[in-house]
């Protein structure tokens, strides 16, 4: 008999609204002995069948819905079909890039599965017991997509231990990756080190911001803080910036930025290796100033519990950036912490501007691009927010 997760009274509401997460506190009982990643039938307290979910016995996030139709069978065909459908939904993006997120977890009906395409290579991250259970099906489906030569696993980022899974990296299907993978996005090319880089190797989610930088850099001096491999720096330099400074704490990220400058035939500009919180202060103490500043820190609030501390860090960074901005300058400031709402982020930045005694206006907003979609039933998928601010 199929194992069944019975919800507590009243806890069926979010499932009925097609929200995919069932926390441990919502589960009244488990009938049967499902293993980690097994598919369980989900019912309301009164026994109404609501759908099927992947069971995660070791996680606070006890089950993630595969389907909200209890008559749908969760099998290889369903999982593989979702991978193919997710890839197809991105087909318009191929006109501008050969690098895109082709599977974005819950947003594509595949909780715990992230797959990023870099040319003919796909980098996959399996972050839940349910995703792990279907690893071969997922790997085969990705490998079978048109033009794919290899599937590489980077299941070493975010959350696996919360699911009772150990990190895992290495080739999954096809040839090992080339020593260097170069992707093309619009008129730029970037080297992506997906076997060792951060995330799966490139910040695909900043694609729209990259396009915006191209329209704002001409004639300006630019500071790219948290530059990683210098995508914003390359675009700024190629778009007519008069000088570009890249700041990052990672020496290998700055080396990647030098490589990207070389590939695109632009001057790499000034590079500063160090902690942004300290280096921005040093720049201020040296009376340096810039016409365009990008501030794109890593996720400062890893979970909801870290929001208060993260808020102080965002305030500190934005205060320093506001002080470094020339009159008439532009600040592009980001947060990729899901736990920090758009509203809270804007308030923090407003507080920073006030303390810096700078009048600033929002002249644009940025968010994650179309390959990182947000289901209406799952607003938690939205995590990236950016404000474009013009200073007086
Ligand atoms: N804007 C980049 C992505 C930035 S990711 C892009 O579009 O590609 C965040 C970067 O911040 C990483 O490169 C990481 O090395 C760097 N970083 C993390 N903590 C830092 C700190 N305290 N000071 C400076 N850089 C830091």
169 pLDDT tier (thresholds 50, 70, 90): very high
C-alpha of residue 226 to centroid of ligand 1, in Å: 4
Which of 294, 336, 349, 391 is catalytic? The answer is 336
Q: Is the CB of 248 under 6 A from ligand 1?
A: yes
Q: Is 336 a catalytic residue?
A: yes
> How far, in Å, CA of 187 to CA of 310, rounded?
35
- pLDDT tens by residue, 273-301: 999 999 999 999 999 999 999 999 999 98
**Cβ contact 381:369 at 8 Å:** no
**Cβ contact 283:261 at 8 Å:** no
The pLDDT of residue 196: 74
Q: What is the mean pLDDT of residues 76-93?
A: 98
Q: Is the CB of 334 under 6 A from ligand 1?
A: no
Q: Is the CB of 226 under 6 A from ligand 1?
A: yes
Coil, helix or strand for 148? coil
β-strands 113-118, 121-126 pairing: antiparallel
List the Cα angle 338/343/344 in 5-degree steps: 70
Q: Is the CB of 301 under 6 A from ligand 1?
A: no
Contacts of 387 (CB under 8 A, 6+ apart): 331, 332, 333, 345, 346, 349, 362, 364, 365, 366
The pLDDT of residue 242: 98
Residue whose CA is closest, atom 12 of ligand 1?
A: 228
Element spanning 6, H or E: strand 4-7
Residue to probe by mutation, ligand 1, list 192, 200, 222, 248, most atoms within 8 Å of CB: 248
C-alpha of residue 12 to centroid of ligand 1, in Å: 40
| Location of structure tokens 């870099």 | 118
C-alpha of residue 104 to centroid of ligand 1, in Å: 22
> How far, in Å, CA of 258 to CA of 276, rounded?
19
The pLDDT of residue 197: 63
SS3 content of the chain, % helix, strand, coil (to 5): 35, 30, 35
175 pLDDT tier (thresholds 50, 70, 90): confident
The pLDDT of residue 179: 82
302 pLDDT tier (thresholds 50, 70, 90): confident
Q: Is the CB of 232 under 6 A from ligand 1?
A: yes
Give the rounded distance of the alpha carbon of 231 from its chain centre. Answer: 16
The pLDDT of residue 325: 98
Q: State pTM to two decimals.
A: 0.96
C-alpha of residue 344 to centroid of ligand 1, in Å: 22
Coil, helix or strand for 250? coil
* pLDDT above 80 (res 1): no
- pLDDT tens by residue, 194-250: 777 666 689 999 999 999 999 999 999 999 999 999 999 999 999 999 999 999 999
Q: How far is CA 123 from CA 132, 134, 149, in A?
A: 15, 16, 11
Residue whose CA is closest, atom 9 of ligand 1?
A: 298
Q: Is the CB of 275 under 6 A from ligand 1?
A: yes
Please spell the DSSP secondary structure of 172-235, one letter per residue: EEESPPPS-EEEEETTEEEEE-TTTSSTTSS-GGGHHHHHHHHHH-TT-EEEEES-TTTHHHHH
Residue whose CA is closest, atom 26 of ligand 1?
A: 249
- pLDDT tens by residue, 326-362: 999 999 999 999 999 999 999 999 999 999 999 999 9
C-alpha of residue 176 to centroid of ligand 1, in Å: 28
Q: What is the mean pLDDT of residues 155-169?
A: 85
C-alpha of residue 53 to centroid of ligand 1, in Å: 36
The pLDDT of residue 367: 98
Q: Which atom of ligand 1 is nearest to the CA of 229?
A: 8
Q: Which atom of ligand 1 is nearest to the CA of 232?
A: 7
Residue whose CA is closest, atom 11 of ligand 1?
A: 226
Q: What is the mean pLDDT of residues 179-205?
A: 88
The pLDDT of residue 293: 99
Report the share of the chain in percent with pLDDT over 90: 92
Picking from 369, 186, 356, the residue whose alpha carbon sits closest to that of residue 264 is 186
Element spanning 117, H or E: strand 113-118
* pLDDT above 70 (res 103): yes
| Token code pair at residue 371 | 């390959």
HSE-CB for 269 with a 13 A CA cutoff: 28
Helices (H), the chain: 13-16, 76-89, 129-133, 135-143, 207-216, 231-238, 251-264, 276-285, 307-324, 342-355
The pLDDT of residue 199: 64
């Amino acid at each position: 008999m199929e194992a069944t997760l019975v919800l507590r009274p009243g806890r069926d509401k979010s499932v009925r609204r097609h929200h995919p997460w069932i926390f441990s506190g919502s589960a009244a009982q488990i009938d049967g002995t499902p293993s980690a990643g097994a598919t369980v039938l989900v019912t309301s307290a009164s026994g109404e069948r609501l759908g099927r979910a992947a069971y995660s016995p070791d996680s606070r996030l006890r089950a993630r819905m595969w389907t909200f139709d209890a008559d749908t069978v969760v099998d290889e065909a369903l999982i593989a079909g979702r991978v193919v459908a997710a890839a197809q939904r991105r087909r318009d993006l191929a006109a501008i890039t050969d690098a895109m997120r082709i599977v974005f977890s819950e947003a594509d009906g595949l909780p715990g599965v992230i797959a990023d395409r870099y040319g003919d290579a796909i980098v996959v991250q399996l972050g839940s017991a349910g995703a792990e259970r279907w690893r071969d099906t997922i790997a085969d489906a990705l490998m079978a997509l048109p033009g794919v030569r290899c599937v590489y696993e980077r299941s070493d980022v975010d959350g696996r231990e919360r699911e009772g899974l150990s990190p895992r990296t290495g080739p999954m299907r096809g040839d090992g990756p080339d020593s260097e993978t170069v992707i093309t996005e619009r008129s730029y090319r970037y080297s992506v080190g997906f076997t060792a880089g951060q995330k799966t190797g490139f910040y695909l989610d900043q694609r729209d911001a990259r396009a915006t930088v191209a329209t704002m850099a001409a004639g300006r001096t630019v500071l790219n803080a948290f530059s990683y491999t210098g995508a914003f720096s390359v675009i700024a330099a190629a778009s007519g910036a008069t000088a570009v400074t890249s700041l990052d704490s990672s020496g290998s990220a700055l080396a990647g930025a030098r490589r990207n400058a070389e590939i695109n035939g632009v001057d790499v500009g000034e590079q500063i290796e160090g902690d942004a919180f300290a280096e921005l202060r040093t720049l201020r103490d040296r009376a340096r100033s810039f016409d365009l500043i990008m501030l794109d820190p890593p996720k400062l609030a890893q979970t909801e519990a870290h929001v208060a501390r993260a808020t102080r860090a965002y305030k500190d960074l934005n205060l320093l950036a506001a002080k470094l901005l020339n009159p008439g300058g532009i600040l592009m400031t980001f947060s990729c912490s899901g736990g920090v709402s758009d509203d809270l982020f804007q308030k923090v930045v407003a507080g920073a501007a006030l303390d810096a005694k700078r009048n600033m206006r929002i002249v644009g907003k940025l968010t994650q691009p179309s390959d990182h979609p947000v289901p209406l039933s799952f607003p938690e998928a939205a995590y990236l927010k950016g404000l474009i601010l013009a200073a007086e």
